[in-house]
Structures are given as structure tokens and as C-alpha cells.
Amino acid sequence: MIKDFNDLPDDSRLWIYQSNRKLSEIEIGIIEPKIIDFLNQWTAHGKDLDAGYEIKYNRFIVLGLNQENASASGCSIDASVGFIQSLEKEFEIDLMDKMNVTYYNGDFIAHKSLSDFKKMAKAKSVSKNTVVFNNLVNTKIDYIENWEVPAKDSWHNRFLA
């Protein structure tokens, strides 16, 4: 059952899917009803899941799950992955590759492969103060407080001198 993302408790579990490109407003207009339909029918062991979503910066699809009433099971997680994969195919985007880095380049959001990000770090094109998106956060409060952080405060730090 869908809930407003902002109403989900701080300890809600999160999954962040970053697109390898910015989504158009038209694409978002098509994707959002699909997310709503999926979340409205998302279940675990026959129980409705209280879930919400947001699309940030036309690039990130964030799914949140309130686990107080029911937790995601292996089957329900598989269903969400299948749903995300269907979006990948339909919109010719990559949402599942965790080996990509998204960061601010001035006022713009840039997306690079991890190997390119490492090269940029070595060349000092990015620094410890470059704001990165830490998509490994897994709770709503962690997302609020630690998603957009300087690279020095994220797992990205290991690539910076």
C-alpha cells in the first residue's frame, strides 16, 4: 500500500536506484504511475507493504518501506528488482549498476563509471570535498543525513588521496 514518502518512519528501509542519465519530465510522468501501481500491489507473504517513493533530481528512484507492519521478504525484494529491471528495459536506462558514481560538478549532477571516478580522483579533478551521492544508505534517516555528502564522509573516500 502506498504511503507519502515523507510520512514513512525514519527507520524505514530504502533502496536507491540511480539512472545513468537524467530522466525527462515526460519519462517521469510515465514512470511515476508505474511506481504507484507497483507499490500499491507490493506484498510480502500476502501482507500489503507500506511503501513510498520519491524521484530526486530526475535521476534517482528511491523506494522506502515501513517495516513496522511487514518486512520485505526475498520474494518481495525480487519483485521490486524485477520492477526496476522492467523500467530499465522500457526507458533504456541503467538503474541497477552500483559501480557508477554520481556527484555534483558545480551546479550539475555528473555520472561516471567507478573506474573513471578513480582516474578523476588521481588527476585531482574531484576532491575530498566533492559532494557525492552515497547510494549505500539503507534507512530513511541515513538517506536524509548521509546521502549527499562530501566524498571524505562516504565510501568514495578510499579513492581520494
Residue 77: alpha-carbon gap to chain centroid: 15
Task: Tell me the domain boundaries of the chain.
Answer: 5-91, 100-159
Write the pLDDT tens digit of every residue in 25-49: 999 999 999 999 999 999 877 778 8
Task: Identify the pLDDT of residue 150.
Answer: 95
Residue 153: alpha-carbon gap to chain centroid: 18
Query: Considering the entire predicted model, what is its pTM?
Result: 0.93
Task: Identify the pLDDT of residue 160.
Answer: 83
Write the pLDDT tens digit of every residue in 96-125: 988 899 999 989 999 999 999 999 999 999
Residue 161's pLDDT band (boundaries 50, 70, 90)? low
Cα 139–Cα 28–Cα 86 angle in degrees, nearest 5: 75
